[in-house]
Amino acid sequence: MKQNLTIPIGQHKLPNLPYSYNALEPIISSFALQIHHLKHHKSYVDGLNKAEIELVEARKTNDFSLIKHWTRELAFNGSGHILHSIYWTIMAPAGRGGNPGLHTLNQINNSFGSFSSFQKQFSQTAIDVEASGWAALVWNPAWQRLEILAVEKHQNLTQWGSIPILVLDSWEHAYYVDYQNRRNEYVNSWWRIVNWYDVERRLLFAAKGQLPLV
Ligand code: MN
């Protein structure tokens, strides 16, 4: 039986974290994680639902005068919802995230030569991305290999069709409470809480064209 993956219009939900708020300490504090999840991520979910419902209304009334605004809201909040959902699941308490899986390691070696080259390039991407940015390891289904992309404004796709696998939130709200302006410390410490089991799971889904949100 085919699983129904459709999320009805205007019914996106804030996913629960797969661990408690203090589970990622000392890398990410309970306080920072609560604000990030309950305020920032929640506002993307609310904004996405609102935009979708406003667009239903626009179609119903045949009034597309605010189409630019709602389409931007759709992109901005939809991207925020997807990226944050992935970010939560690809982290785990320090020491519980395992090591890169067989498929992950093979694909990383094929695409970047070695794990350490991948890690250096990914970290530097996260450290250098401007202001409201992300570093993202993506599966590009067009050329069937991995790539590292910097997401400078998360509503803008940087390679169409790419499926995000491992994402690192480099917006100030993700680290400022714990690290202030020391983004490099946040990025370097963050590797200790990567959930490699989830990375492997996501990569296997991506090969089938799927992007699970939980
Ligand atoms: Mn964020």
Residue in 36, 80, 14 with CA at minimum distance from that of residue 176? 36
> Distance between CA atoms of 181 and 190, rounded to whole angstroms?
15
Q: Under CATH, which number does the domain 30-89 receive? A: 1.10.287.990
Distance, CA 44 to ligand 1 centroid (Å)? 10
20-38: pLDDT as tens digits: 999 999 999 999 999 999 9
CATH of 102-207, one of 3.40.50.720, 3.40.50.20, 3.55.40.20, 3.40.50.300: 3.55.40.20
Q: Ligand 1 mean position to 63 CA, how many Å?
A: 33
Q: How far does residue 133's CA lie from ligand 1's centre (Å)?
A: 9
Distance separating alpha carbons of residues 178 and 186, to the nearest angstrom = 8
Residues 85-99 pLDDT 10s: 999 999 999 999 999
| Ligand 1 centroid to residue 41 C-alpha, Å | 7
Q: pTM here?
A: 0.90
Ligand 1 centroid distance, CA of 169 (Å): 6
Spatial separation of the C-alpha atoms in residues 79 and 85, rounded to whole Å: 10
Comma-separated ranges of CATH 1.10.287.990 domains in the chain: 30-89
At 140-183, the pLDDT tens digits run: 888 888 999 888 887 776 777 889 999 999 999 999 999 999 99
Q: What is the mean pLDDT of residues 45-63?
A: 96
DSSP state of 191: G
Give the separation between CA 57 and CA 53, rounded to whole angstroms.
6
CA-CA-CA-CA torsion sign (153, 16, 208, 144): positive
Instruction: List, by residue range, all CATH 3.55.40.20 domains of the chain.
Output: 102-207
